[in-house]
Chain A
Amino acid sequence: MTFSDYPSKLLENAVNEFASLPGIGKKTAFRLVMHLLRQDVSDVERFGDNIIKLKKEVKYCRFCFNISDTDICEICSDRTRDHATVCIVENIRDVIAIENTGQYRGVYHVLGGVISPMDGIGPSDLNIDQLEKKVKAGNINEIIFALSTTMEGDTTNYYIYRRLLAYELKITSLSRGVAIGDELEYTDEITLGRSIVNRTPFETGNK
């Protein structure tokens, strides 16, 4: 049987929906659909409801634009965190990654992407105005750039940096260098070169 030729239109529609998801091909989509067909109706209903509910009811935190069930997300409503330190990230995945380190007690600002004309994303498509508004209000001491180290990420950092220059503010970015457990021999030249230039005092980071 070829995949363009299903015995049922219903089946074909379902497979096409799954195959439209990132990373899912027709074969995997078909397998997922067949799996759902074998489930009880109630299970499939719950599955569908949850997806619809997610899309309809999802909220973005008023302060940091992270995905949240409430108006203000858990991190932003946590009084024990340092609200004067704001970490700029691309999306919620980066929030989760940094939270998992257990090393950060500040709050976040989720941009929702990076500037890339090729992908049709300009500054107005990102939560940059809102960031500037926050800074303007004056309760922020430090901004930490934690965007991807791609050209688009760097360019976005640079753009925001220029917009925030007028304010009294400490602006930092994640340090870049040799990954822990890496052998120097296999580290690329740019990273290694940068690590040499931006070396850190032994006392602070390496004990």
Chain B
Amino acid sequence: MYLSRLNLSNFKNYSEIDINFSPRINCFVGDNGVGKTNILDAIHYLSLTKSYFVSIDSVNVKHGEEFFIIKGSFGNSAEDEEIMCGLQKGKRKVFKRNGKEYTRISDHIGRYPVVMVSPADSSIISDGSEERRKFMNNVISQFNRAYLNNIIAYNKALKQRNRLLKDYAAEGKFDRQMLELWEDRMLDPAMKIYESRAAFVEHIVPLFQEYYDHISDQREKVSLEYRSQLSKSSMKELFDKNIDKDRVMRYTTSGIHRDDLKLKMNNFNIKDIGSQGQQKSYLVALKLAKFDYIRDMGGILPVLLMDDVFDKFDEMRVAQIIKLVSEKRFGQIFVTDTHRERMQAVLSRINIDYSLFLIDEGVTEIMHNGKKPD
């Protein structure tokens, strides 16, 4: 299955475009701000029913317009499936498959998986642990519905417990039993979340290392490690052990809400010692490992969206990545780049179906498998 055609109306900077894609590699080249990323985001919509970049749908409506429509055809001719996402300002989002509206939009998620690699991913390295937990949650919950429910339940009880700690401190009283009431709600979700995260990281670590070695030519040694207080103690033990600390701090100081991923290179935090290029390679490898995980768990080959990935890479590394993703284990790929000549040179050296699009005043296919399209 692949996205054969995309049609946008009033989506971001596009009034109306209609593009046919290659089943393998599709490259968009053009200057900054012409809307290369917007095409990838539209594809992201068709898969995960929302934007990768902004959480409010209405900001994706073209300035001055009242609605947007994204239409995509998946597959080849006869069994084409048409996915449509539409938003009229001030109304709820409509999502349709073959003309039939979904009762629950979330039912669509997982049908056409995508993995986005974007400069925005750098927050996984540079920001706090919350970004890394989000990264885990986002992937795991796609295949484990119970996981998301456990996260919601845990966070809700956590909020109530924190509130009690705060109120007790302010009122100068304390009731351990009332705290326990909420702790008991957290024990089971915490254990299950811990197990899911540990299994997820175990799954992706070898994949991640292989990809990094491939991209970097084994110049550095990287590692990825799941850190959780639950690896040594049960949630119950943590609550009991840290109750005095919690009282002083007025919030819950231990639990799976403190989990983190340690991202390391040559045994140091990559955040501290990694160059921009190394950090970027790290993130690309991490996202490709996520790609494999989604493929393994869901049994469907995801579409790979690579937004401006080559920005800080030399031509050798770009060629290496393009060669990697042109291998059989990857399916359809969408790439954006500002560097037309470089992209053209790299593509001319691979031997699979590709299309190169130039974006300026619209989208034009300028190259198909080395030739000008007719």
Contact = CB atoms under 8 A, between A and B. Distances in A.
Given A117-B167, A189-B145, A158 B159 contact: no
Contacts of B156: 151
A122 interface: yes
A116 B149 contact: no
B181 A158 contact: yes
A87 interface: no
Interface residues of B, number: 19
B100 to A, nearest CB: 14
A115 B182 CA distance: 10
A123 B104 CA distance: 37
Interface in A94-140: 115-118, 120, 122-123
A120 B103 CA distance: 36
A155 B163 contact: no
A132 to B, nearest CB: 15
Given A155-B185, A158-B184, A117 B160 contact: yes
A117 B184 contact: no
A159 B160 contact: no
A123 B178 CA distance: 9
Interface string B186-222: 0000000000000000000000000000000000000
B181 A115 contact: yes
Contacts of B104: 186
A190 interface: yes
A123 B179 CA distance: 12
Interface in B164-185: 164, 167, 178, 181-182, 184-185
A206 B209 CA distance: 56
B153 interface: yes
B157 interface: yes
Contacts of A118: 159-160, 163
Contacts of A154: 185
B182 A190 contact: no
Contact of B157 (A120, A151, A159, A189): A151
A155 B182 CA distance: 7
Interface string B294-328: 00000000000000000000000000000000000
Contact of A151 (B153, B163, B164, B167): B153
Interface of A: 115-118, 120, 122-123, 151-152, 154-155, 158-159, 186, 189-190
24 contacts: A115-B181, A117-B161, A117-B163, A117-B164, A118-B160, A118-B163, A120-B167, A122-B178, A151-B156, A151-B157, A151-B185, A154-B185, A155-B157, A155-B160, A155-B181, A155-B182, A155-B185, A158-B181, A158-B184, A159-B181, A186-B103, A186-B104, A189-B146, A190-B149
